[in-house]
Amino acid sequence: MDKLWAMEVFVRVVECGSFSRAAESLDLANATVTSCIRNLEKHLGVTLIQRNTRHLHLTDEGELFFPKCQTVLASVAQAETEVRASHTEVSGVLRVESPFAIAQSLICPALPRFVEAHPGLSVAMTMVNEPRSLIERATDVAIRMDRVEDADLVARPIYAARYVVCCAPALARRIQAHSPHQLDPGLCLGLLSEGAHNPRHWTFRKNNEEAIVRPDGPLNFNNSGALIQAAAQGAGIIYVLDIFAAESLADGSLVELFPDWETATLTFHAVTVKSRYAAPKVRAFVDFLLEILDARRRPGVNTLVEVGQDRRKPRSR
């Protein structure tokens, strides 16, 4: 029996909380995973996992064995990675997950340049509306906005974005508003959160003054790119992150309104699993992200990130 392999399967089953999800993440048949755990238990002479058709939990022996396996596997992975890294070769398959908006507008257009710089590397990019488990999906690095779903992830801040209010130049010339308070909500196009029917409200601050605008225009989208396209055609005013509107503002198809007012901010993070040693391909990709994003807007390394619903704050790296 390959003890290291059996330990890896055992750890993945515990992390995924399911034999079938562990099998999927390892690209194995369910029966293979089950057989591997049974052989490991037979070798040790103990039961590690008690399970039924719906649940599984560790026995006392399993609770003792699990962290030991994690330590051993982490040491082996680090030793292997350090040897490979000595050749400074970035290779293999890099699995990346990102929200649609940032993937489509920023990352995907630059990926050909990234793989051209690393001929031995291929990238599998998955675009999602809602974040998924990095462990279950065997994802190497994911992009998260402001929050991560698990405290056992390392979140490195890569970009501090702020919202900007903008519209087509022709519409800007017709607007008589000199502050957000004077904006006509009927001209404001809304951004929808996932599963929401009402658009997000817009917030502003200047000195001790605050303003809130609730969009009530004819168009609402759950995608910033669609909002920008509609605004460029003169359909209305939008409130989007500067990272998405930068190109349109630079080429003049959109102009910014109320630049002297502070708006809401959002921090993008590159997220990896904490227990895994950073492979050269992951380090290369994070460096690539920092290159294509505006370094002047990069947040400090101690930026805190919200975690899940219990709002724990993990250590940023």
Same domain, 108 and 209: yes
Q: Name residues whose C-beta falls within 8 Å of residue 68's C-beta, 6 or more positions apart in sequence.
A: none
Same domain, 308 and 173: yes
Same domain, 169 and 300: yes
Domain that holds residue 217: 89-317
Specify the residue for token string 């909500």: 185
According to the model, what pLDDT value does residue 187 have? 96
pLDDT tens-place string over residues 190-203: 999 877 788 999 99
Q: Check which CATH number belongs to the domain holding 35 and give it.
A: 1.10.10.10
Same domain, 129 and 9: no
Domain boundary among 31, 63, 85: 85
Same domain, 79 and 93: no
Residue 315 has pLDDT above 80, yes or no: no
Same domain, 150 and 184: yes
Q: Check which CATH number belongs to the domain holding 294 and give it.
A: 3.40.190.290
Query: Count of domains in the chain?
Result: 2
Same domain, 308 and 179: yes
Residue 312 has pLDDT above 60, yes or no: no
Residue 307 has pLDDT above 50, yes or no: no
Domain boundary among 31, 58, 85: 85
According to the model, what pLDDT value does residue 61 have? 93
Residue 277 has pLDDT above 70, yes or no: no
Of 173-182, 290-299, 303-312, which gets the smallest average pLDDT? 303-312
In the chain, the percentage of residues whose pLDDT exceeds 70 is 87
pTM above 0.75, yes or no: no
Instruction: Provide the CB-side half-sphere exposure for 90 (13 A, CA).
Output: 20
CA 74 to chain centre: 23
Query: Which whole number is the average pLDDT over 3-17?
Result: 91
Q: What is the DSSP string of 26-76?
A: HT--HHHHHHHHHHHHHHHTS--EEE-SS-EEE-HHHHHHHHHHHHHHHHH
According to the model, what pLDDT value does residue 221 have? 93
Q: With contact defined as beta carbons under 8 Å apart, do 317 and 154 qualify?
A: yes
Residue 310 has pLDDT above 50, yes or no: no
